[in-house]
Structure 1
Amino acid sequence: MQNRAIEAAAGCASAASSFAELPAAASRGPLRIEYRWVNQQANAQQDDSPIAVFLHEGLGSIAMWRDWPQTLCERLRMRGLVYSRPGYGLSTPRAPDEKWPVDFMTAQARDILPALLDALAIDRRQRQRIWMIGHSDGGSIALLYAALFPDALAGAVVIAPHVFVEDISVQSIAQTKQLYETTDLRAKLARYHADVDSAFYGWNAVWLDPEFRQWSIVGALAPIRRPLLAIQGHDDHYGTMAQIDTIAAHVPHAQLVKLDACGHSPHRDAPAALNDAIAAFVRAHQ
Structure 2
Amino acid sequence: MSQETAHVTAAGRRLEYRWIGPGPQAAPTLVLLHEGLGCVSLWRDFPDRLAAATGCGALVYSRAGYGRSQAISLPRPLDYMQREGEAVVGPVLDALAVRSAILVGHSDGGSIALVHAATDGRSRVAGLVLMAPHVFCEEVSVRSIAAARREYETGELRARLRRHHGDNVEAAFRGWCEAWLDPDFRRWNLEGYLPRVTAPTLLIQGEDDAYGTTAQLEAIARGVAGPVETLLLPGCGHSPYRERPDETLAASARFVRAIVGR
TM interval, shorter chain, is: over 0.9
How many angstroms does 1:121 deviate by?
Answer: 2.8
Q: Distance in 1 between the 2:155 and 2:113 partners?
A: 32
Aligned pairs for 1:96-245 within 5 A: 98-122=74-98, 126=99, 129-148=100-119, 149-194=121-166, 195-245=168-218
Deviation readout 1:46-93 (Å, 9 max, x if unpaired): x41111000000000001111111011111111100000001000011
Q: Secondary structure of the residue that 1:240 maps to in structure 2?
A: coil
CA distance in structure 2 between the aligned counterparts of 1:15 and 1:132, rounded to whole angstroms: 21
Partner of 1:75: 53
- The alignment's TM-score, normalised by the length of structure 1, stands at 0.86
Give, in whole Å, the separation in 2 of the partners of 1:138 and 1:15: 20
**3-state SS, counterpart of residue 243 of structure 1:** helix
Describe how 1:242-257 pairs up with structure 2 within 5 A: 242-251=215-224, 253-257=227-231
Shift of 1:117: 1.5
Give the aligned length. Answer: 256
Q: Secondary structure at the match of 1:181?
A: helix
Distance 2:58 2:38 in 1: 17
1:134 Cα deviation from its structure 2 partner? 0.1
1:15 positional shift: 6.7
Residues 120, 284 of structure 1: alpha-carbon distance in 2 compared, 3 angstrom cutoff:
closer
Change (3 A) 1:15 1:169: closer
SS of the aligned residue for 1:155 comes to strand
Task: Say if 2:10 is the partner of 1:22.
Answer: yes
Question: How much does 1:285 deviate?
Answer: 2.7
Identity score, percent: 45
Matching residue of 1:33: 15
Q: CA deviation at 1:276?
A: 1.3
Name the CA distance, whole Å, in 1 between partners of 2:254 and 2:16: 30
Distance 2:37 2:219 in 1: 24
Deviation by residue 1:151-178 (Cα, 9 ceiling, x = unmatched): 2211111100011000000000000000
Question: 8 Å contact 1:135–1:160 — kept in the other structure?
Answer: yes
Match of 1:258 in 2: 232
Deviation at 1:282, TM superposition (A): 2.0
Matched AA of 2:115: L
Q: TM-score, normalised by structure 2?
A: 0.94
Q: State the structure with more CA Rg.
A: 1
Counterpart residue type for residue 78 of structure 2: V
Give the aligned residue type for 1:38: I
> 2-side partners of 1:75 and 1:15: how far apart?
19
